[in-house]
Amino acid sequence: GTVIHTNLGRALLPDRVTDKLQRILTQPSTLEFDLTTGRRGERDSIVEQQICELTGAEAATVVNNNAAAVMLVLNSLAAGKEVPISRGELVEIGGSFRIPEVMASSGCKLVEVGATNRTHLKDYQQALSPATGCLMKVHTSNYEIRGFTAEVPQAELATLAHNNDLPMVVDLGSGTVVNLEQWQLPHEPTVQEAIADGADLITFSGDKLLGGPQAGLIAGKKVLIDQLRKNPLKRALRVDKITLALLHEVLQIYLTSDDLPADLPSLGILTRSADAMEAQARRLQPAISKRLGDDWGCTVVPCQGQIGSGALPLESLPGWGIAVKSLPSSGQGKRLNQLAGLLRALPVPVIGRISDGALILDVRCLTDEAGFLHQLDQLAL
Ligand SMILES: *Cc1c(COP(=O)(O)O)cnc(C)c1O
């Protein structure tokens, strides 16, 4: 039920994207070769134009992931300088990505402003000094502060930055280039909105809501992107030709598709209709029940999925699934986590989640129904 799960490889790529891989892997490509001049070219140019066309940015570049994008931006713009940031945005994303640590690794001095729940424009104003390198806003993707709260809108922060001749950076995290509300999904901030608000550089992930390969995309002002390209870190953080080829194909889908959910698997899964999921759960219920045997009860239940990867964590995606419970007739009761372990040990692992005394198999992400049942045939209960 978690569509873009960091532990399960994040976004799924469309088949048509992987078809292109064969040629890239086995033949030379113009990765860093400019056919017009016959000289060395820029590695990112095949995707830069696409990112600019999609987002309205002047320039763009790509690195290994969004964590790398944030590091490269901070190191290029503010190494040895101060970066004021709201105490409400000092987030940990998971793994060891924490804004204070990333700042330190990038050679910047973090200046905390405001309070955890409330930060005002005057807090940033007071934090400005001749040593300030840039202003930054981090999209607190994986948690939310509710109640007595205040944050400075990115447009106001951008104005403050520009009035002080400073660049304004936004780490969007998930970041999308389309308005998800058109598919009745919750709103997730877009790159276009950040640009319209005056952000000078925006960083976002390639394999979260964008639905592409692992990458960190940086879009924004040309002078700043040029500055990033000159940083030796850029070379260390650069992406390989396979990533670039995959990203190129995915961005091409955004530029040409008139039915994105049909062409991008992660968006297709996010926008699945409740009716289709309920029908699938009802179809699977007797088949699962038969394979698990008499000790287990299987019922069709509504359940709550998630976008995942920290995007909109409080917004659940209503879906359908099968709840598996141990029946009283099975003696002392078979243990649910034992069943979950057996399912995970299948040649193609089946991963459910235990909630309220049941193992929930959310069907949202289940595309290969026959393959799934074939796996269950191999269960040694
Ligand atoms: C996910 C996320 C990151 C890290 O991105 P990766 O692509 O996983 O490296 C950084 N900042 C924010 C706000 C995020 O949500």
Say how many C-beta atoms besides its own lie within 10 A of residue 177's C-beta. 19
This prediction's pTM: 0.94
pLDDT level of residue 129 (50, 70, 90 thresholds): very high
Q: Which position has the higher pLDDT, 268 or 25?
A: 268
Residue 95: pLDDT over 80: no
Q: How far is the CA of 207 from the centre of ligand 1 (A)?
A: 10
- Closest C-alpha to ligand 1, atom 7: 66
Question: Which residue has tokens 């204070």?
Answer: 100
Instruction: Give the separation between CA 315 and CA 305, rounded to whole angstroms.
Output: 9
| One-letter identity of residue 133 | G
Sign of CA dihedral 177, 84, 65, 43: positive
Q: Which position has the higher pLDDT, 277 or 32?
A: 277
Residue 71: pLDDT over 90: yes
Element (H, E) at 301: strand 296-305
Q: What is the mean pLDDT of residues 63-67?
A: 96
Q: What is the pLDDT of residue 140?
A: 83
pLDDT level of residue 302 (50, 70, 90 thresholds): very high
pLDDT level of residue 310 (50, 70, 90 thresholds): low
Contact 103, 77 (CB under 8 A): no
Residue 334: pLDDT over 70: no
Q: How far is the CA of 145 from the centre of ligand 1 (A)?
A: 19
Which atom of ligand 1 lies at the shortest distance from residue 206's CA? 7
Q: How far is the CA of 27 from the centre of ligand 1 (A)?
A: 33
Q: What is the pLDDT of residue 50?
A: 97
pLDDT digit string (tens) for 138-177?
A: 998 777 888 889 999 999 999 999 999 999 999 999 889 9
Give the highest mean pLDDT range of 19-23, 28-32, 287-291: 287-291
Indicate if ligand 1 lies below 6 Å from the C-beta of 216.
Answer: yes
**Helix 66-78 vs helix 222-230: angle between axes, to the nearest 10 degrees?**
100
Residue 330: pLDDT over 80: no
Q: Going by DSSP bridges, is the β-strand pair 82-86/109-113 parallel, antiparallel, or unpaired?
A: parallel
